[in-house]
DNA sequence: CCCGCTTGCTTGACACACTGAAATATTCAG
DNA sequence: CTGAATATTTCAGTGTGTCAAGCAAGCGGG
């Protein structure tokens, strides 16, 4: 599959790597900015986004966010203080606490998603076919890369 | 060009947006991990990467990193303490301090870049033509989106 | 010349994200 | 029932980031 492994990447590859870097940077700025408009930090926005889909135990949140559970405690604390998230006991296991978005939390998450769709949509400039091919290329990248 | 503006994005667009999100997440993990292997934080690695190309005044660094100058002070302080960066006076203007990578700093930056090329190369699985078309699509995205 | 404005950098106080270790509560296997 | 494993929290410590204030150096007009 790979035409090269440890060998020097060619100019084209370097350029693509660079472009990906730019896209990543742009995406991040937009994300943080959208979060800030709702008085949230990036971490809080990501966590709230997860909880807007379904309640999750703290442990699962930590896994999804790829950080230590002790870190999640603080983020949930702050969102809870703002009334966007609440902690509920898990009826099946009294050790676990389920974090769940409140109605207001889901509302904020929805607003955030929409702000992001706008922000993320430099895609709008691409035709249907181009989007199709971009989708396939990105899928391939994600598959190959581990 | 754009088939829609404020209207609901179609399923394909949503999927692409999602894929971009995944690529961004993956890229970030790899970046942080590569930095950590050199005992650097992401911010330190980014700053060192900039300085490995050319010395820059603190002010310019803040602009490139999109943060406050007062923040740059701390990051440069830590890199300077590790001997990877040094502050020099600007002969043209005694107010400005030029941050420059030391030899060791450039060496670390080089190692980091290579680690990143590896990490960033889920691209290796794509053919030359595919990379070409990916490059064009990414360029279009970046152009359109501002 | 020198006064006042601007510019570049640093400092200090503060919030948040994050980690790692220790404490607590609960589950679960033997 | 006892001891190991699991879920969460607390605490101390580091780094990133902001904002306001301070200091030094450039710069323009009287």
Contact B21 A15 (CB under 8 A): no
Question: B26 to chain A: nearest residue by CA?
Answer: A142
Q: How many CB atoms sit inside 10 A of residue A49's CB? A: 16
Contacts of B54 (CB under 8 A, 6+ apart): none
Q: What is the pLDDT of residue A10?
A: 79
Q: What is the pLDDT of residue A12?
A: 85
Size of interface A-B (CB pairs under 8 A): 149
Helix (H) or strand (E) holding A57: strand A56-57
A33-85 pLDDT per residue, tens:
999 999 999 999 999 999 999 999 999 999 999 999 999 999 999 999 999 99
Q: Is the pLDDT of residue A2 over 50?
A: no
Q: What is the pLDDT of residue A143?
A: 81
Q: Which residues of chain B have pLDDT under 70?
A: 1-9, 119, 145-146
Q: Which positions in chain A touch B134 (Cβ < 8 Å)? A: 16, 134, 137
**Chain B touched by A11 (CB under 8 Å):** no
Contact B5 A126 (CB under 8 A): no
Q: What is the pLDDT of residue B1?
A: 46
Q: What is the pLDDT of residue A9?
A: 65
Q: Quick check: helix, strand or coil at residue A140?
A: helix
Domain extent listing, chain B: 35-141
For A71, the token pair is 């870190």
What is the spatial distance between Cα B23 and Cα B4, in angstroms, rounded to a whole number? Answer: 25
Name beta bridge partners: A85: A101
Spatial strand order in the sheet of A97-101:
A56-57, A97-101, A85-89
Q: Which positions in chain A touch B13 (Cβ < 8 Å)? A: 121, 123-124, 131
Q: What is the pLDDT of residue A1?
A: 46
Contacts of A109 (CB under 8 A, 6+ apart): A48, A49, A51, A52, A101
For A11, the token pair is 């100019």
Backbone angles phi, psi at B141, to 5 degrees: -60, -45
CATH number given to A34-115: 1.10.10.10
Contact B133 A132 (CB under 8 A): no
Helix (H) or strand (E) holding B85: strand B85-89
Mean pLDDT of chain A: 90
Lowest mean pLDDT among A76-80, A115-119, A136-140, B98-102: A115-119
Strand C close residues, chain A 80-139, CB < 7 angstroms: 93-95
pLDDT band per the 50, 70, 90 thresholds, residue A18? confident
Q: What is the pLDDT of residue B112?
A: 94
Q: Domain B35-141 falls in which CATH fold?
A: Arc Repressor Mutant, subunit A (1.10.10)
B62 sits in the region (left: phi over 0; alpha: psi -120 to 50; else beta) called alpha
> Integer distance in angstroms from CA B42 to C1' D25?
33
């Amino acid at each position: 599959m790979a035409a090269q492994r440890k060998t020097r990447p060619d100019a084209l590859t370097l350029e693509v790597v660079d472009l990906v870097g730019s896209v990543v940077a742009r995406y991040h700025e937009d994300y943080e900015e959208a979060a800030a408009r709702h008085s949230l930090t990036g971490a809080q926005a990501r966590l709230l986004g997860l909880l807007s889909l379904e309640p999750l135990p703290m442990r699962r949140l930590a896994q999804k966010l790829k950080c230590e559970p002790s870190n999640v405690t603080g983020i949930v604390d702050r969102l809870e203080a703002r009334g966007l998230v609440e902690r509920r006991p898990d009826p099946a296991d009294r050790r676990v606490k389920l974090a769940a978005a409140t109605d207001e939390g889901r509302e904020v998450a929805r607003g955030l998603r929409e702000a992001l769709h706008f922000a993320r949509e430099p895609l709008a400039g691409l035709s249907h076919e181009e989007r199709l091919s971009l989708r396939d290329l990105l899928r391939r990248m994600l598959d190959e890369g581990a």
